[in-house]
Amino acid sequence: MTIHFPYLISGDQITVYVNGVPKSADRSHPNFDALLDMSRNGGFTSDKVDEILNLIDIRHQFESDLSGLKQYGRVRVGFDAIYFNDQPVRSYLADRMLDFLRDGHDVGPWARFMDKLYDNPSKTAVDELFLWLEKANMPITPDGNFLAYKKVKDDYSSYHLDPNGNPVYNRVGDVVEMPRNQVDDNRNRTCSTGLHFCSWHYLPHYYGNQGRVVILEINPADVVSIPSDYDNAKGRAWRYVVKGEIPEKDARFAFSDVKLYDGDYAEFGN
């Protein structure tokens, strides 16, 4: 026999009494609207008990769907801990992943990002890159890379030549790289060698008063350092892929407050 579970909607909170046990969700809950829809369409019944618990209790959904853990390469995600090579990870990135998970988000992109990040030989990059992404408001791609920006000339070449005097092109689809051991890994040397990338809000400070803005996709393992100036808004890598270009009308922002010279962009790859 199907039983209808009683429920109460009060202000911004809904409480369902599942077999007599109150289960609550407020408007900040990621499934709040779905619960309201269920209340309007047949209510909360015993034949939907797993669906109800999955909607209300993120832990129940995680444990029932994933048997408590899910593997992303060398990263395993549990509801209360993140593991890399079967060792618990204690870091800001791990803590944020657990926050995302408890809010009902898919943490797959962040787990894949962590898996790649731990291939980076630079401890500083491992420790600081995710902090940079959050502060710079830059997205992580589904496969665990991240996006950033770069200004180039109208012909897609960098503003400066490489050490051999050749232009460095950044056309959509290009893979741009240089030897990693030639990229300065000292974040306190803000004017130094490397392939530079930056956040959206840094673009007006980027060297060059005309040109184009391209979108880069960067493997976190390929980041070498995050220079400490300009509020940590830029970085140096040894390789990236040019994935797209910002339309001209949207790129005008990048040329609105250009400096005549920024020493950090007087080296190879920029």
270 domain residue, yes or no: no
pLDDT at 12: 86
Question: The tokens 């853990």 sit on which residue?
Answer: 69
1 domain residue, yes or no: no
pLDDT at 57 over 80: no
**Phi-psi domain of 141 (left: phi exceeds 0; alpha: psi -120 through 50; beta: other):** beta
2 domain residue, yes or no: no
14 domain residue, yes or no: yes
pLDDT at 264 over 50: no
Give 208's pLDDT tier (boundaries 50, 70, 90).
Answer: low
169 domain residue, yes or no: yes
Residue 104 sits in the same domain as residue 141? no
Q: Domain of 37?
A: 7-56
Amino acid present at 161: L
- Which strand (E) or helix (H) includes residue 176? strand 175-177
Integer angstrom CA distances of residue 263 from 125, 159, 176, 225: 22, 12, 21, 16
pLDDT at 59: 55
Residue 12 sits in the same domain as residue 129? no
Q: Model confidence over 128-176: pLDDT tens digits?
A: 898 888 888 889 999 999 999 999 999 999 887 777 888 899 999 999 9
Residue 255 sits in the same domain as residue 161? yes
pLDDT at 69: 65
Residue 13 sits in the same domain as residue 128? no
Helix (H, G, I), strand (E, B) or coil at 88: strand
CA 134, CA 111: separation in Å to the nearest integer? 15
Span 172-184, average pLDDT: 93
Residue 141 sits in the same domain as residue 187? yes
pLDDT at 35 over 80: yes
Residue 146 sits in the same domain as residue 187? yes
Sheet bearing 69-72, strands edge to edge: 69-72, 75-78, 82-84, 87-88
Domains identified in the chain, total number: 3
Q: Model confidence over 66-116: pLDDT tens digits?
A: 445 688 999 998 877 899 998 999 899 999 998 888 777 788 999 999 999
